[in-house]
Structure 1
Amino acid sequence: MTVGQKNVLEWISPGLPGPADILSTTVRVPRGSTMDAVGAALGELIGRREALRTLLRDGEQVVRASGTLVAEVVEATGTHRDWVPPGRAFDPAVDLPVRASVVTRSGSPFLVVLRVSHVAADLMAMTILRTELADLLAGRPLPPAAYHPADHATYELTPRGQSRLEGSVGYWARQVAEKPLCAFGVPFRFPGARGHHHVLLGSRPAAGAVARIVASTGARPLAVVMAAFAALLTSWTGAPGCQLNCLCNNRFSPELRDYVGTVAQETIVPFTASPSFLRSVSRTDAAALAAYRYGRYDPVRLTEAKGEAERARGMGCHRDVVVNNTTGHSRVILPAAGVEPGPDDRMFGALAELDVYQMDGKIGCGLGLDARLATADEAAALLGGVERLIVAAADGDVDPSGFGIPPAERGPGWVRARSCWVDLAGVQAVVDLALGHGAARVEAVGDEIVARVGHDTDLSAAAEAVITAVLREGRHGVVAPSGYVRATGEGRSAP
């Protein structure tokens, strides 16, 4: 298998498909087309693209030379949501990774809906499939498809391919080791709240402002939006920076530009706060380009390397802030202008998640913010601040702290340690759970959190017990750094 196929197999659900397990696209059928013509176009599409007839078994990909695709035919009634029912999970070892539905009006086909397993295609591949099916339905000839997943797997097994993959694993292991232990140290003001606040932004003025900032900085448009979001987020959290989990499309090589397969993988783009927004834009653009160099990696090897780095530092690596770039692939209905509430059925996997839906002519974004952290009005103000910051910066450099929402308020028990905001009382509570009440006294000493214990305490065993408790409890704002073993005059401590 390719590393992209392995990557998707690590997280798709074989029983209940998640929102990203199955990708879909729709293609209009030319007026006057017959059902036979639609079937022929679908057959030619699957024949030319090996990814659509590839099964994944025991670590290998098996390309089928023939088969039958049964397409569901649905008469268009009601709304478009009623035309095609939700997709069921694919079994990568048994099922063709593509399904098709033909929507008819008065018995004549007018729309084809393709559903493709994410193990066979990423978002860019879906765009390619949509374009090719439209050409085939219109009778336009296509050049042969020259590069397939089996070809890509062959390249990845070469010494050059292996060297590149191993270099990426080393790079990401270092990123994990250097990531702040608590990257989103904001108190849970509403601990009983559930889900995320979801808001959407539509702004034509911001699109023009992005173009002017790009002209003055040389950065890519997406870097401007990412930097604005991260700048307002760190201004709110009071953190010196954050790490943005982003997808890299990995299509920098010529043979991958028209490749149908899954090559996109997650990267981490570090962001450093600055009083100069334009400087933040340039830094973010450079950090993203550096991260994209290492966008391809073997997920199995990376999991092993991440595990070693996490064991060395004593804490896991969490996805606190996510940025999704779905420009050109989204069907989200954006506000005409300003910020509006988004659909309440959207699920988010991180504390804060920015979706970039549109960049051309209009900036379209969505924000999901954990409801335990802020109010719905604050989520709307944070996303609206992205627009205000970008528009203001188009006329000259500005300080991001003047936009967004006020800095988060923390109680007296919160302290800064190793560039992280840490809830000292929360750490004490977990230490009491691990060692027993009164067995250790937790305090902040300079840039460290120190637990003072008695002379008869086994430091190594105590530290391991605390780390285990932190991981088990999963308390927000509570960390357990890995370095411990230091003596004091009146007892011993485990920093």
Structure 2
Amino acid sequence: MVIQIDDAGTVSLTPLPAVPVAFAGGSDAEGPYTLGQLNIKVWLDQSPDHCYSTLKWRFDVPEGTTLAEVAAAAGALVTRHEGLRTRFLGGDVPTQRVTGSGELPIEVWSLDERQTGPVDQTALDYALLARLAAGIGPDAPLPLRVAVAVQGELVRAAVMVFSHLAVDFQAMTLLGREFTALLREPGHQPAEVHQPLAQAEAEADPRARRRAEAAIRHWERHLRQVPQCLYARPRTGPAAGGGIAQLTSPAGAAALRHIAARTRASRPTIVFAALCAVLARRTGYRECRFPILSGNRFESRLERYIGTLAQSVLVRLDTTDAGFDELVRRAFGAMLSASRNGAWDAGVAIRLHRRVAAERGLRLRFEPLFNNLVVDSSAPEAPPEPVEALAAAASGSQIVWSPAPPTSTLLRFDLWQVDGALLFSCWSSDTGRADRNEAESLLLAVERLLLAAAGADLDAAAVGPATGLEPIARGPGWLFVDSCWVELDEVRRLLDDALGAGVAQVFAEPAGPDTTLVAYVDGSRGEPASPEQLHARCLAALSDRLTAMTPQRYVICDGTPPDPTDPAGWRLLPVLAEGTGRQGLDLSRSG
């Protein structure tokens, strides 16, 4: 399981000398990054201190396991999988360099024999992982660290911390199973292993390159229509850090089994459909466009691949006139279509993001993010619990809130578990805009919808009310422009910050069936500026404004009218220059 580290807890551990474990996997070798590795590199370049730059995992250690057996299993994993003995080098041409042989140090901690009372296993895992809290640099000799807690000769806990360049969540899951299998059967050998250097070579094949290029075209189509912030809502307070709400719902898990038996859909697909219904109800968007993470393990050779393959894809799900079961069917098709475009060149993609963002005059947020960490391979069948019992069972649901660091994504949803209990979390990176109550209400709305749909399909008119949520209230100062909800006052503040107080006014003007933002600028002050220069300044000042965008057109006038808030007065002034400001724009730092 994945562990979020808060502190070392109360477990007392004493350091012992590290145990070196030799590995010998062949000759040294090197090659270019895979698309998955490049994707993580670009992300880490932008967010080097992100809490998911390293991934943490606890292993299932059978009772009676010795330190020597754990060392042998760890050595076998590193020998077998090139990605676990790779240095990730940057530069103009990023390179993965595989070490053929060497030593892996296992950090050993002794559980204090004087500690009174039983030791909680979770607390022990937390304590051990806390001692591996330091990050792993991309160019570290090995992209993992291993630690064990021993009591006498026996291992009580074993954990690993990995660079995200080396593994993704599904790879860690595979490693966990393989590690335990090696402890139970030291000679255990999985099927033939596909290695990252071979994956990089496969991605250089012309057919694979064409698929990656098609994925970029898929991104561009969606980037031109996706809202910059799906969850645009009035700020409720100052930015105050982030937090994670985690729902644990046995009733939700039972409801998922009922719905899966009826629709024959996977349970993660059902959760995604319910989330889209909740977001559509709350935000007012009938069409949900936001990123999900694709595991990219569709080919048989990648099913047991130890490396990082997951990349985000933009999904589009139209909730219009859809009953719940129809929404589940649409969700399956939308996720499948998006996942076909899940492997792409992150270097090309980031240039595309900058270009489209500059042309549209906004900051693309790629939120909310839906991250499914469940592999649902079980055949759908209804649980023994009758549907009528689910409402009462919901009283056993729990939500736990914990502080978390802010990120660049306002809302992130992680699906951790569907068996026994639904484990679903919502991470808000700005509690001044989406506070604890908001995050918890979204999770509970998903649960309510699942319970309502467990016994029978819901028609389209019943889906929204079943969430128990009302749409976000937006006042008269809000406008819908270029698929985005924006606050006109926030756009005005943007112009004041970018161009100087009182230099410009912005107005909403009709453009056919749509609305466009037009900025009237006093060109008689200071040095003359072109529409391109004005647009560049506005882009630079966008920063973290979730509900603002640059004007679509700039009109530079000779002076300011007596009443600057009257658009008719501006239109009477001589025009020095006008335009969109998008021509010949330098995109090297925008977006």
Normalising by structure 1, we get a TM-score of 0.88
Contact 2:228 2:366 in 1 (8 A): no
The answer as to whether partners of 2:517 and 2:553 remain within 8 angstroms in 1 is no
Distance apart, 1:463 and its partner CA: 5.9
Matches of 2:446 and 2:46 in 1, distance apart?
A: 38
**Cα gap change, 1:170/1:459 in structure 2, threshold over 3 Å: closer, same or farther?**
farther
1:330-373 CA-to-partner distances (Å, cap 9, x unmatched) read xxxxx983242322246554222212111123222112333222
CA spacing shift, 1:13–1:163, aligned 2, 3 Å: closer
Q: Residues 349, 182 of structure 1: CA spacing in aligned structure 2 closer, same or farther, 3 A cutoff?
A: closer
CA distance in 2, matches of 1:427, 1:69: 55
Superposed, which structure 2 residues align to 1:449-488 within 5 Å?
A: 449-452=517-520, 461-462=530-531, 464-466=533-535, 468-474=537-543, 475-480=545-550, 482=552
1:384 maps to what in 2?
A: 444
* 1:368 aligned partner: 427
Looking at structure 2, the residues matched to 97 and 200 of structure 1 have their Cα atoms a distance apart, in angstroms, of 30
Aligned residue for 1:128, secondary structure, equals helix
1:145–1:277 distance in 2 versus 1, CA, 3 Å: same
- The 1:163–1:22 alpha-carbon spacing in structure 2 relative to 1, beyond 3 Å, is same
Residue 161 of structure 1 aligns to a residue whose secondary structure is helix
Amino acid of the structure 2 residue aligned with 1:377: N
Change (3 A) 1:418 1:35: closer
Partner of 1:287: 334
Give the 3 Å change call, closer, same or farther, for CA 141–418 of structure 1 in structure 2: closer
Q: What code does the residue aligned with 1:401 have?
A: G
Q: Distance in 2 between matches of 1:198 and 1:14?
A: 22
> Is 1:92 the equivalent of 2:138?
yes
Q: Which residue of 2 aligns with 1:71?
A: 106
- 1:428-443 equivalences under 5 Å are 428-443=492-507
* Residue 181 (structure 1) shift: 4.1
1:230-379 matches, cutoff 5 A: 230-278=276-324, 279-327=326-374, 337-345=396-404, 348-369=407-428, 370-379=430-439
Do structure 1's residue 397 and structure 2's residue 458 form an aligned pair?
yes
Aligned to 1:8: 40
Query: Are the structure 2 counterparts of residues 33 and 444 from structure 1 closer, same or farther at C-alpha, using a change threshold of 3 Å?
Result: closer
Give the match for residue 82 of structure 1: 127
Q: Structure 2 vs 1, CA of residues 223 and 36 (structure 1 numbering), >3 Å: closer, same or farther?
A: closer
Could you say which residue in structure 1 is the equivalent of 2:490? 426
Question: Structure 1 residues 24 and 392 mapped into 2: Cα distance closer, same or farther (>3 Å)?
Answer: same
User: Are residue 187 (structure 1) and residue 234 (structure 2) matched?
Assistant: yes
How high is the sequence identity, in percent, across the aligned residues?
A: 29
1:296 Cα deviation after fit: 0.6
Question: Cα offset for 1:314?
Answer: 2.6
Contact 2:521 2:556 in 1 (8 A): no
Consecutive unaligned residues of structure 1, counting only runs of 5 or more, are: 330-334
Aligned counterpart, 1:407: 471
Shift of 1:164: 1.5
Query: Cα distance, 1:185 vs. partner?
Result: 2.6
Unpaired stretches in structure 2, ≥5 consecutive residues: 1-32, 113-118, 377-393, 558-567, 581-591
Q: Does the 8 Å CA contact 2:110/2:149 hold for their aligned counterparts?
A: yes
* C-alpha contact 2:365 2:408 (8 A) present in aligned 1: no
Contact kept in structure 2, 1:250 and 1:264, CA below 8 Å? yes
- The alpha-carbon distance between structure 1 residues 31 and 120, as it changes in their structure 2 partners (threshold 3 A), is same
Once the two structures are TM-superposed, the CA of residue 26 in structure 1 deviates from its matched residue by 2.5
| RCO comparison, higher one (Cα < 8 Å, 6+) | 1
Cα-to-partner distance string for 1:2-40 (whole Å, 9 max, x where unaligned): 111111222337997532122232234444444333322
Q: Which amino acid aligns with 2:133?
A: G
Q: Following the alignment from structure 2 to structure 1, what is the Cα–Cα distance between the partners of residues 59 and 52? A: 20
- Distance of aligned partners of 1:94 and 1:432 in 2 relative to their CA distance in 1, 3 Å threshold: closer
1:147 aligns with 2:194: yes
Cα gap change, 1:179 to 1:385, in 2 (>3 Å): same
Residue identity in the other structure for 2:89? R
RMSD across aligned C-alpha pairs, in angstroms? 3.1
CA distance in 1, matches of 2:244, 2:485: 26
Distance 1:366 1:227 in 2: 16
Q: Distance in 2 between matches of 1:311 and 1:374?
A: 27
Distance 1:411 1:466, change over 3 A: farther
Aligned-pair distance for 1:439?
4.3
Matched-pair contact (CA < 8 Å) for 1:232–1:404: no
Q: Please, what TM-score do these two structures have when normalized by structure 2? A: 0.75
Shift of 1:101: 1.4
Distance apart, 1:69 and its partner CA:
0.9
Name the CA distance, whole Å, in 1 between partners of 2:335 and 2:269: 8
- Which of residues 87, 91, 96 is equivalent to 1:55? 87
Q: Distance in 2 between matches of 1:164 and 1:155?
A: 12
- Structure 1 letter corresponding to 2:83: A
User: What is residue 206 of structure 1 aligned with on the other side?
Assistant: 252
Aligned to 2:68: 36
> Counterpart amino acid of 1:425?
D
8 A Cα contact 1:240 1:419, kept in partner: no
The structure whose Rg is larger is 2
